[in-house]
Amino acid sequence: EVQVVESGGGSAQAGGSLRLTCSYSSLPFEPSEMGWYRQATGNECDLVSTIRGDGTTYYTDSVKGRFTVSQDNAKKMVYLQMDSLKPEDTALYHCAWDPPYRPGVGYVPPARCSYWGQGTQVTVSS
């Protein structure tokens, strides 16, 4: 089963920072876009950010100005720098390849967050 490997999660105080790392070196193909989802307990799998091969990025409104996505194509790594963390950022964060997208609609929810990998837990305390 092809999956990505996420790391970097942990606990932080509100206002603090964490940096998530995703390795997609096991993929037998080159994805056109990478993304980060998160799923809080009892909630749906929500898209946080994406980055395309040309560097184009997307952020959901709640993280704009606080999170920064980046990539190292040579190393097949994607990063999510999370600053000014808030308790509502607490969730299991999943790295994804080729987030589902429908022309005219936009990004659509995946069947499940765990499709791409096991995720890394982020817990922010107030």
What value does the mean pLDDT take over residues 15-24? 97
pLDDT above 90 as % of the chain = 93
The confidence score (pLDDT) of residue 2 equals 78
For the stretch 74-125, pLDDT in tens is 999 999 999 999 999 999 999 999 999 999 999 998 989 988 999 999 999 9
- Cβ neighbors of 71 (< 8 A, separation 6 or more) are 34, 51, 55, 77, 78, 79
What value does the mean pLDDT take over residues 14-27? 96
Going through 1-126 in order, the beta strands assigned E by DSSP cover 5-7, 10-13, 18-23, 33-39, 46-52, 57-59, 67-72, 77-82, 91-97, 101-102, 106-107, 120-125
